[in-house]
Amino acid sequence: MTRRVVITGLGVISPVGKTPNEFFNNLMAGYSGVKRLNAPFIDKLSIQIAAPVEDFKPTDYFTKIQLSGIERFSQFALVAAQQAVQDAQLELNSEAEQDRAGIFMGSCMGGASTLEDGYVEMFLKDNPRIKPLSVLLNMNNAAASQISIKYHLRGPNVTYATACSSSAIAIGEAYRQIKHGYCDVMLAGGSEALLTLGAMKAWEALRTLALEDTEDASASCKPFSKDRSGLVLGEGAAVLVLEDAERAMKRGAKIYAELVGYDCSSDSSHITKPDAVGQSRTMRKALQESGLTLQDIGYINAHGTATLAGDIQETMAIKQVFGEYAANIPVSSTKSMHGHLMGATGAVEFMAAILALENNAIPPTTNLHHPDPECDLDYVPNEGRHNVPLNAVMSNSFAFGGSNAVLIAKRFV
């Protein structure tokens, strides 16, 4: 049994927008959410730039009592889920419907601030007591569980932690739940809130973070550029409503796109070094499942982290899959604007691809003023493109550990 799977709702909280429309409009305008981080621990950081979600007031969405048990990453997830459910006009009124609806989310660090606060209390302040709800706040599956409770999703509730591909895999596996008949509706996405001192110092130690641009901090993330120096950490969440196409049509839902291809696989070669062979294998298998031709893909949202090795390997992988046609495909890295949201990044970028498809518009790779000769595809430098007929899009997520995921969507007809 296989069924068609469509996307009927979108929700996002990101460094460049707190609704899908704001998010995509800012991407098209080349707006950057990267900036000097305003945090009390800033002087302890060597790399002081990040892509935070600013002007997010939890009390606008939750009561004080609720906030005692909902961590920042869960707050992001719940707000994004609410947007998506409202956008889809989704109602699950019967127990039978609730039994066939689930939630798959991705997150790398879960409640990072709760974990760090606990360490500070125990080891720096010598306080024998920490927050009573620390375990429930910190656990990676807290966001998915909170969403499940709020919307009475009584089907599968799973959280994926596969580094940068976490939320792309969450969406892909949710797609399979519907495609193969286990569920009729799935909420899927990812959430991350790791802009803490400990997490940022750990990334500093790995020497993968971008150096601050000396003229403009907001231009520090430079995917595919010769002068790129690394990634910029971001935070936020994105949630999509996936639905059996027949169900969605029957209730008259707006359909953004049809999810037609997905694959996840492992490089099985190195814990940090990206591998074009593994990436290209994942893209090929997703394309094979989609039934589309190479020429059907009109836009690729690249993983594009702005690391020296990563951008070259992804360029090679795209060439290995698309051959001569690779030069004709617009490819962009929106991380140049919203940063790298780790466990949420796959969902945020797939949403960017879906909105590109809906609007026939391609967001740019900003800060690309000095192209790397080894990154020689059409990386849509600096300015978005409007009025570009699109029928299908691809989104790549390639993670530490060699965990690759590729999602493909097309117009629903």
Token digits of residue 11: 């929700």
Q: How far apart are CA 312 and CA 314, in angstroms?
A: 5
Determine which one of 183, 221, 264, 303 is catalytic: 303
Q: How far apart are CA 343 and CA 193, in angstroms?
A: 9
Name, in order, each residue with C-beta under 8 angstroms of 324's C-beta and a sequence gap of 6 or more: none
Determine which one of 108, 164, 183, 221 is catalytic: 164
Q: How far apart are CA 126 and CA 326, in angstroms?
A: 58
Please provide the size of the chain in residues: 413
268 exposed, middle or buried (CB, 10 Å; 0-12, 13-18, 19+)? exposed
User: Residue 379 in contact with residue 274, Cβ under 8 Å?
Assistant: no
CA 63 to chain centre: 27
Beta strands in 272-317 (DSSP E): 299-301
Helix, strand or coil, per DSSP, at residue 81? helix
Determine which one of 108, 221, 340, 375 is catalytic: 340
Residue 169: what residue type?
I
Active site residue 340: yes
Q: Give the strand pairing for 35-36 and 5-13.
A: unpaired
Phi, psi of 236 (to 5 degrees): 145, -165
Handedness of CA 119, 122, 128, 129 (dihedral sign): negative
* Residue 400 CB neighbours (<10 A): 18
137: nearest Cα among 117, 167, 163: 117
Active site residues: 164, 303, 340
